Structure 1
Amino acid sequence: MQHQAYQPLLPVGNKYLQQKWDKASYDLHRRKVNSAKPAINTTPPRTFGHLALKLKKQKLEEEWAMKIQRENNMLREKISHIMKTTGAVDNRNVYSVKSLGTEKRQLEFLRITKDNEMILRRLTQCKSEYDRRSWHEDWLKTLKVMDSIARYPRGGANQQKVNHVEN
């Protein structure tokens, strides 16, 4: 605002000189602000070449690729050998399978078999506690009683059918 008169903050003898001094002081202040360096370092960290290249990792990957290539070559040679020859595979096992607990299992099986035979023998030799003949006689008596107290004779429907078919 150039058209207004300069008003110093403190009372002065000469406003023009005070304006000149204040402007010089302000310009100095602006130069200091522009040339000031930050108190905190905000620049990115330095990058080191040996960290970016990772030579060890490259070497391990090359060794791994060489190992895979070597195994692939071996497989290719085996397959070509099989293709050139008869291709027979030797898969016969001549050893016999042996179990450590075979004898114990066989002895236990024999013991259980003998126990079962003894129980069967006792069951077959044992005489029954129940008499089938007396049960049958009781049942016949029960049927006679049922016939005597029934309103309609037992088996009457069947006798009617038989009589109806004969007529």
Structure 2
Amino acid sequence: MHRAYQPILPCGNKYLQQKWDMAVYEEHKKKIWTAKPLIDTSAPPTYGHLHLKLRKLKMDQERLSIIDRDNHLLLEKMSHIMRTTGRIDNKNDYEAKSLNQRKREQELLRVNEENHAILEKIIKCQPHYKVQKWNDDWQKTENYRNNIARYPRGLPKLHDKKEQKAHRAAKRDRKKNQHLKDGYLTNQPEEKDDLIHQSKELAMDHQRENVIEEIYFRPFQWQCRSLRWQFRH
């Protein structure tokens, strides 16, 4: 009995009540499916004349036809001009003229003359500084520096020159010995003159070095000897 249909309200026949209830339920479902909303949410209707725009198409076609007609007319005119001389003369054979050409030429000449005058002034201008006076001042300065110096100036340069000369002399001697070994004899007058000139230069350098040593080192040596003698006694 529990599997049979149980109506909500009491009834005399359960089978008939079930049939009637199912009929009411089906009708209710049908009404739900066919119910219409109070607010229209569907898409608005589309109109063909708004999308196609026949008037605009017609106007574009007319404009293109006018352009084609103008192009054909222009082409005919150009072909006529190419085949003939045309109805107008479009050749400009006249020369360009300027109203102020003469004035500009005069201004250019005036500027050139002024530039030449300035250039001549610059060339003829005498210097305000005297080179001889600068040289004399520098010689005085060098003398002052030599007088106030405790030790002789220019010794490092002198030693460097000595080393360079010794190196050149050794190199020259090696070349000479190599030539003598190879059987080369200096019989030509030009080579003899070169050897004589080189020997003279070496002698002059040696003499100059001796003079410098006598001027600078001798007083210093005597001073050192006197100091040693004072310390001993």
TM-score over 0.5 for the alignment? yes
Displacement of 1:44? 4.3
Q: CA RMSD in A?
A: 4.4
Please name the residue that 1:24 is paired with.
Answer: 23
Distance 1:122 1:60 in 2: 81
Query: Hey, which of these two has a bigger chunk of helix by percent?
Result: 2
Q: Which amino acid aligns with 1:75?
A: L
The equivalent of 1:166 in structure 2 is 191
How far the C-alpha of 1:118 sits from its partner, in A, is 3.7
Question: 1:4-42: per-residue Cα shift (whole Å, max 9, x none)?
Answer: 52123x352432343133123212202312332244535
Following TM superposition, the consecutive aligned residue runs of length 4 or more in structure 1 with deviations greater than 6 angstroms are 101-108
User: TM (normalized to structure 2)?
Assistant: 0.44
1:74-85 → structure 2 map (5 Å cutoff): 74-85=73-84
Does structure 2 conserve the Cα–Cα contact (< 8 Å) formed by 1:6 and 1:19? yes
Structure with max Cα Rg: 2
**Structure 2 CA distance for partners of 1:110 and 1:38, relative to 1, 3 Å:** farther
Runs of 5+ consecutive residues of structure 2 not aligned to the other structure: 140-153, 173-187, 193-233
| Aligned residue runs from structure 1 range 135-154, under 5 A | 150-151=161-162
**What percent of counterpart residues are identical?**
40
Corresponding residue number in structure 2 for 1:124: 123
> Does residue 90 in structure 1 map to residue 90 in structure 2?
yes
| Structure 1 Cα separation of the partners of residues 96 and 71 of structure 2 | 35
> Which one-letter code corresponds to 2:33 in the other structure?
N
Distance 1:60 1:115, change over 3 A: farther
Partner SS, residue 46 of structure 1 = coil
Is the 8 Å Cα contact of residues 12 and 18 (structure 1) preserved in structure 2?
no
Question: Structure 1 length normalisation: TM-score?
Answer: 0.57
